Amino acid sequence: MSEQVQSIVEAVRRLDATQRRELTVALAAIELSASDVSSSRKQLVESIRGKYRHIPTSSESFMNRKKEETVQESRL
């Protein structure tokens, strides 16, 4: 266990019962907010994936086309 984690564990052990409950609630809230973000991000990714499903291209070929366009624009 790292020194930082060990010092956190020791600090938690020094908390009284009320403070430990508050910490438990706070940690649960952090975990819930993280899972909400991941589920909303997943929904966004799915909606985008569906929107561009018909476009037959990879990100690599897209970047190559954009690079070529930039080179052509710089020549003008």
Q: What is the pLDDT of residues 6-54, one digit of tens each?
A: 998 999 999 999 999 999 988 888 877 666 667 777 788 777 777 777 7
Query: For the whole model, what pTM was predicted?
Result: 0.41
Q: Determine contact, residues 15/23, Cβ cutoff 8 Å.
A: yes
pLDDT at 35: 63
pLDDT at 16: 93
DSSP-derived secondary structure for 13-48: HTS-HHHHHHHHHHHHHHHHHHHHHHHHHHHHHHHH
pLDDT at 70: 92
b/e per residue 41-52 (b: at least 16 CB within 10 A): eeeeeeeeeeee
